[in-house]
Amino acid sequence: MSFKLEVGKEVERGELSIGATARKYGIQNPTTVTIWLGKYHKFD
């Protein structure tokens, strides 16, 4: 779970886009990052 949280934090902080974050961490489908954001992160 901590991996998913760290990936999501980078997107939330605006450091990387969803696609760039997926590439950085070797996640084949950027939609996976979007799903993690929906499950584990709350946007204001």
3-16 pLDDT, tens per residue? Answer: 999 998 999 999 89
Instruction: Identify the DSSP state of 25.
Output: T
Distance (Å) of CA 18 to CA 9, 33, 35:
11, 7, 11
Residue 44 has pLDDT above 60, yes or no: no
- In this prediction, residues 20-24 reach a mean pLDDT of 96
Share of the chain above pLDDT 70, in %: 93
- In this prediction, residues 6-29 reach a mean pLDDT of 94
Task: Give the chain's domain count.
Answer: 1
User: 16: domain range?
Assistant: 2-40
| Residue 2, both tokens | 């901590």
Q: Could you give phi then psi for residue 25, rounded to 5 degrees?
A: -95, 5
